[in-house]
A = this chain, B = another copy of it.
Amino acid sequence: MPEDRFITIGTLARRTGVAVSAIRFYEEKGLLQALRTKGNQRRFMRSDIRRISFILIAQKLGLGLAEIETELARLPQGRTPTVADWQKVSRSIRKQLDAKIQLLTLTRTKLDQCIGCGCLSLSKCQLYNKDDRAGAAGPGPRFVLD
């Protein structure tokens, strides 16, 4: 296997700083795809280093793996993504980041009003009303600033 284009899972792990187990996990979740050798070992493409970089960055921005998968799906299938391809995806998460900052800023304004009156009352407080929560459904960790 003299091919320069393919790398082992260990190499990918070293290059990205991500654990081997995590890479397998990402593959299982569909965020990465790997070829297999005759002996059933994974072989990744060099461009997967960038793909993992993106995963890490997007996680830092608060996206879940499912959302990240959606974003990655915008990349071209079959060919190595170009700079322009990556820019398109990056701009998409930049929008989400923007929205998140706006939401937090708004919340801060409300909190300031709340501190002013000291109420923290569910009925009167701007910050909190039941309707806000009506949509929250299903078990598991929620409330991470949807």
A contacts, CB < 8 Å to B: 15-17, 49-50, 53-54, 56-57, 59-62, 83-84, 86-87, 90-91, 93-94, 97-98, 100-101, 104-105, 107-108, 111-112, 114-115, 118-122, 125, 127-128, 130, 133, 141, 143-145
Contact = CB atoms under 8 A, between A and B. Distances in A.
Nearest to A134: B17
A105 B49 CA distance: 26
A72 to B, nearest CB: 12
B60 A143 contact: yes
Which of A56, A84, A119, A120 has the most CB atoms of chain B within a 10 A radius of its CB? A120
Given A107-B61, A120-B50, A128-B57, A133 B17 contact: yes
Contacts of A101: 101, 104-105, 108
A54 B120 CA distance: 7
23 contacts: A17-B122, A53-B120, A57-B111, A57-B114, A57-B125, A57-B127, A59-B143, A60-B127, A60-B128, A60-B143, A62-B144, A62-B145, A83-B119, A84-B118, A86-B118, A87-B115, A90-B111, A94-B111, A94-B115, A97-B108, A97-B111, A141-B141, A144-B144
B57 A120 contact: yes
Nearest to A111: B94
